[in-house]
Structure 1
Amino acid sequence: MYIDVVPNRSSPPAILLREAWREGKKIRKRTLANLSHWPRHKVDALRAVLKGHAVVAGESFEIVRSLPHGHVAACLGTLRRLDLDSILARKRSRRRDLCVAMIVGRLIEPRSKLALVRSLAEQTLSSSLGEQLGVADADENELYAAMDWLLGRQERIEAALAKRHLSDGTLVLYDVTSTYFEGRHCSLARIGHSRDKRFDRPQIVFGLLTDGEGCPVATEVFDGNTGDPSTLPAQIRKLRERFGLERVVLVGDRGMITSARIEENLKQSPGLDWITALRGPAIKKLVDSGALDVSLFDEKDLAEIHSPDYPGERLIVCRNPLLAEERRRKREDLLLATEAELDKVVAATRRAKNRLKGKDRIALRIGRVLGRFKMAKHFRLDIGDDSFRYERDHQRIADEAALDGFYVVRTSVKTEHLSS
């Protein structure tokens, strides 16, 4: 059986229920019912039934809402495949589920704990996360309590991660950052060097240890006025004493693994090698001593050199021409911006009314400009009681430009273990 629509010239088409069969080479058909008086949806439903489709009456259910689920399923599935929930705690518990919810929530939509609670609650939920973990009724106090519970398990969790991702002779990456506080009730918060440029706010410093691929293994929080290099000894003890590693290659930037830390900490720990980089003044010293010939890098971008200042160590010099051009452009932009502001100071010392006078007052104005753009080393200044002049120090600018794009990697790792 099937539904046939037969056109009429001046009338609506006839809608007929028909059946067909074959007699020899001919197709026979007959009309079983005239459905022209049926409403369109009823005809469509019968046509679907005749084709073998399941039909559900539209009024039999109502879509109240649909919840985004794909990203939740992806994050939860990956977390469980990595066995991260079992690393937090072997047995499932309310607190473990809350911690998992915070991890997944941080991945799919970073936000505050209060906002996360709202996204889990039945009345304001924004995904299936709360339902999947059974934590839709959680409040922010429960989340904070779960974090306290997690803190008590930190060493065990880090040991499990280290066992999975670190082994003797492996690369370990370490770096620190900071974040500032608006409140006054954090015992570690101090005024310090702010990477957020919020020198008026207390902050904390925290360090992160990862494996060679950047997978996090351990973290530690320090007072907000802690210098980067002074956090390194704690990490060495952690690698040796807690993780039981005899041979490690520690990788850190030149502000972290300084010469002082190498002499006082790393060289005093047998089996501990390092990879870091030299600062600008140290690179210039290599050039001045003849150990580094920058003209070689007109033809090549990588070379290994040696210097008596770094006995038993390797120095790998590399030059990035794209970075060199970017640094040249940025320096020129900063010089022009600095000159524009210094010209305002010059004009202030020459105006007819309310003239800027006095060395101290003029120097304060100049200091604000130079502190903003960090270009003081590239200018010669002449400050008088009622005058001010300046000019670029072209020799210093040229000396700095000659080293644009250069990096010197400093390492104690032997060539047979790590080629350049």
Structure 2
Amino acid sequence: MDHIGSAHTPEDVEVLKAVARQRMIAAGQDEFDFGDGRPRRRALPIRRSRAGHLWNALSVGFERLGFDTASGGDEVFKQLVLGRLIEPASKLETLRVLEEIGVRPCGYATVKRRLAVYAEPAWRQQIASACAAHVGLGPATLVLYDVSTLYFETDAGDGFREPGYSKQRRLEPQITIGLLTDARGFPLMVEAFEGNRAETTTIIPSLQAFQAAHALPEITVVADAGMLSDGNLRALSGAGLRFIVGQKIPEVPYIVREWLKTHSGQQPPDGLILTQPWSRGPAGAAVTETIYYQYRADRARRTLRGISEQVSKAERVVAGKIPVKRNRFITLTGAQKSVNRDLEAKALAGWKGYITNLADPRPEYVIGAYHQLWQIEKSFRMSKSDLKARPIYHHLKDSIEAHLTIVFAALAVARWLEATTKVSLKTLVKTLRRYRTIDIQAGDTIVTAEDPIPNNTQTWLNAIHNTQEQH
């Protein structure tokens, strides 16, 4: 049994009855007929029911990021962005979602007309500029860069959607997406490239476009080791760009080998950092980069455990207990199989390299910046899972670009909401969607009633609306 509230006037009683009926309907319950012959009083009509708390919270995020101004008050854009946060769907289905939560949707014909506008470079730049203004780009901005792919359910490429390298090993045509964020994973720019374009060729044009758009004299990009080839690093330095990149370690570096030799039989202390000046030019060229090698005991334990498992598998292969599979610890000589207990791999356990061309860098800053890459990985996961970024309903390049603009803005609002409330977007939307605000006709008066909000949920709403008051 639920307590609906207290009433002091006949009108209040009717309002509470209407709220009770609304709850019963939502719960799939029927009113109990006592069968005493008393005429049942006609229920007060509900004129409007809406998920007001949800829509208002999302709207605050949209406005707080300056998207209302950047879009010129475009209501269609706002509805498509916020609708994607509520329930990612096709543009047509999004209008149904909006109607369900009590928002009067724009017409579908209007939506289709506006999509061409959202694909225009000038429009996309306005949205990106609002994001940049929100984070407050400085003269030496640190940005994260990563690449992913979005595939299409078609067999034929068209020059933009093309088959290419896919981490999921998909064969369908795809596009390559380059995402640039700040150190917290807040999106700053998204670029779409041909699906058969190599990931390493996307970073420099993206960075140069970003730097030019915001007139930044200097930026430092943080990227994964596989993102930047030797040629990329040379090109970045040549363009005056700074970088922090994970360094692949195929063999024990000289400076690590020397430390192990000097400290024979000793375990490196957890957190040990060795510094090696580096030149990418010919022998004798000026030093322009720095490599840091850091040892972590936890990383060493994980690596050694993995090596032990691989060696164990190799032994079973050599013994003929399991079939031959790719394994670095198996040596094949003709028809002979033997176990190669790679001491080099064990010597590298626990070590990771970080390379930068920053002048006078601090190792803690370089390593800390690199380990923020999980933030951009999270943004990619959110865009693909929570926001369903894959443009499965679009085929033309312009409509794909428009779709990505909407997803980009939705990702920005999502990241802002999560940072503000400290809960996930999914939890926030699922919770707020349950609480309705209803307008009830009581005689000549329209009375507004709403479900009571639990304290923890109210804390989220307070955090969202307090930011609005502060600005």
TM-score normalised over the length of structure 2: 0.59
Query: Structure 1: where are the runs of 5+ without partners?
Result: 1-46, 348-365
1:81 aligned onto 2:64: yes
Structure 2 match to 1:197: 169
1:322 aligned onto 2:298: yes
Structure 2 match to 1:117: 95
Structure 2 match to 1:29: none
Change (3 A) 1:70 1:48: closer
Change (3 A) 1:190 1:69: same
The percentage of counterpart residues that share the same residue type is 22
Select the structure with the greater relative contact order (CA < 8 A; seq sep ≥ 6).
2
Mapped to 2, the partners of 1:245 and 1:179 lie a distance apart of: 30
The within-5 A match list for 1:54-73 is: 54-56=12-14, 59-62=42-45, 66-73=49-56
Task: Report the residue type matching 1:209 in the other structure.
Answer: L
Bigger radius of gyration: 1
1:99 aligned onto 2:68: no
Change (3 A) 1:300 1:104: same
Deviates more, 1:171-180 or 1:337-346: 337-346
Kindly state the Cα deviation for residue 169 of structure 1 after the two structures are TM-superposed.
0.9
1:231 aligned onto 2:163: no
| 219, 235, 255: which one aligns with 2:226 | 255
Mapped to 2, the partners of 1:294 and 1:337 lie a distance apart of: 34
Query: Structure 2: where are the runs of 5+ without partners?
Result: 1-5, 18-40, 281-286, 366-471
Change (3 A) 1:169 1:292: farther
Would the aligned equivalents of 1:275 and 1:412 in 2 still touch at CA under 8 Å? yes
The within-5 A match list for 1:218-367 is: 218-263=189-234, 265-270=235-240, 272-281=241-250, 284-286=252-254, 290=258, 298-309=268-279, 311-333=287-309
1:63-110, CA deviations, whole angstroms, 9 ceiling, x for partnerless residues? 6995444333221222112222222x22x2xxx322222222332333
Kindly state the Cα deviation for residue 53 of structure 1 after the two structures are TM-superposed.
8.9
| 159, 172, 196: which one aligns with 2:143 | 172
Kindly state the Cα deviation for residue 401 of structure 1 after the two structures are TM-superposed.
2.8
Would the aligned equivalents of 2:300 and 2:349 in 1 still touch at CA under 8 Å? yes
Structure 1 match to 2:186: 215
Change (3 A) 1:305 1:418: closer
Task: Report the residue type matching 1:193 in the other structure.
Answer: Y
Would the aligned equivalents of 1:170 and 1:212 in 2 still touch at CA under 8 Å? no
1:293-315, CA deviations, whole angstroms, 9 ceiling, x for partnerless residues? 79676224142412454623222
Mapped to 1, the partners of 2:10 and 2:223 lie a distance apart of: 67
Mapped to 2, the partners of 1:344 and 1:147 lie a distance apart of: 61
Mapped to 1, the partners of 2:360 and 2:112 lie a distance apart of: 49
Would the aligned equivalents of 1:169 and 1:247 in 2 still touch at CA under 8 Å? yes
Number of positions where the alignment pairs a residue of Structure 1 with one of Structure 2:
323
Structure 1 match to 2:346: 401
Kindly state the Cα deviation for residue 418 of structure 1 after the two structures are TM-superposed.
7.7
Mapped to 2, the partners of 1:341 and 1:67 lie a distance apart of: 64
Task: Report the residue type matching 1:329 in the other structure.
Answer: R
Change (3 A) 1:223 1:284: farther
1:117-151, CA deviations, whole angstroms, 9 ceiling, x for partnerless residues? 33234xxx2x23xx1xx32x543x65454333111
Kindly state the Cα deviation for residue 220 of structure 1 after the two structures are TM-superposed.
0.8
